[in-house]
């Protein structure tokens, strides 16, 4: 069974952390992954930097740009992670854009992911219908879970289609909390969380965007299996380097 599915079966709320590979420094990625697992993180999303990250906010864009300047590439990341399964057992997902995958070769990319022990991919700019028609068989051949994003604007019909071709979890974009607010999600987001929970989808949901502290993590996981923290963790890396992960995780839960 895929490690993502194993983790989703555990009787706990999932804390997933996102970071940009090659940030703050080119060779930090393995240490960050090992340290996050040691401090109780359940799942890690490794961002593959791209020059035109349309779905990312300014904090993640800045870290991605710096990682590219540091020399991060698809090949460098694969080389860094080649022995990761000797020390790390939690699920690992690569989150990136489709263009670098196309340049590498979709099947070659999937094969390399399987070889080094990557469990899934999140590709925001790969439409679910294109995936289902052209690439699903390749992903399944290599045992990779492809995670799709939904937003408050995604139609019920499309959500159910995404659910039908998914075999892990669905990434729920919260549509972000109020800018600059630390007080949590508003009624609009709460209603959205409840609406999706009420659809009784086959795949559990993990909520991302706008989760930055214990309160927002608790709010998000009240109606979902877990939550993803990205920008807040990258800010932590910017201020502390790859140290003090224990403090960061402890402050969330």
Residue of 80, 92, 52 whose CA lies nearest to 68: 52
- The residue with tokens 């071709």 is 165
Residue of 28, 139, 30 whose CA lies nearest to 82: 30
Q: 187 and 180 in contact (C-beta within 8 Å)? A: no
Quote the CA–CA distance of 165 and 148 in Å, as a whole number: 9
| Residue 22, CA atoms < 13 Å, CB-side half-sphere | 24
State both tokens at 97. Answer: 């854009």
Of 28, 37, 42, 45, the active-site residue reads 45
* Residue 144 DSSP symbol: P
Active site residue 222: no
Quote the CA–CA distance of 70 and 68 in Å, as a whole number: 5
Of 56, 75, 115, 119, the active-site residue reads 56
Active site residue 107: no
Q: Which residues are catalytic?
A: 45, 56
């Amino acid at each position: 069974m895929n490690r993502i599915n194993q983790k989703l079966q555990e009787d706990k709320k999932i804390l997933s952390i996102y970071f940009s590979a090659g940030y703050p420094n080119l060779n930090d990625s393995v240490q960050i992954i090992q340290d996050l697992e040691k401090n109780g993180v359940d799942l890690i999303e490794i961002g593959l930097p791209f020059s035109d990250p349309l779905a990312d906010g300014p904090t993640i864009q800045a870290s991605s740009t710096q990682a590219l300047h540091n020399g991060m590439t698809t090949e460098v990341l694969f080389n860094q992670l080649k022995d990761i399964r000797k020390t790390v057992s939690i699920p690992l997902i690569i989150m990136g854009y489709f263009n670098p995958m196309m340049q590498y070769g979709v099947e070659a990319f999937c094969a390399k992911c399987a070889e080094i022990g990557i469990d899934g991919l999140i590709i925001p700019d790969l439409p679910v219908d294109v995936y289902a028609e052209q690439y699903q068989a390749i992903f399944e051949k290599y045992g990779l879970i492809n995670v799709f994003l939904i937003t408050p604007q995604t139609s019920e019909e499309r959500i159910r289609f995404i659910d039908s071709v998914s075999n892990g979890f669905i990434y729920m974009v919260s549509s972000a909390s109020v800018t600059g607010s630390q007080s949590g999600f508003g009624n609009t987001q709460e209603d959205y969380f409840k609406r999706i929970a009420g659809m009784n989808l086959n795949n559990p949901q993990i909520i991302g965007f706008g989760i930055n502290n214990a309160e927002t993590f608790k709010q998000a996981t009240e109606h979902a299996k877990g939550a993803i923290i990205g920008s807040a963790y990258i800010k932590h890396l910017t201020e502390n380097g790859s140290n003090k992960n224990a403090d960061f995780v402890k402050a969330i839960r």
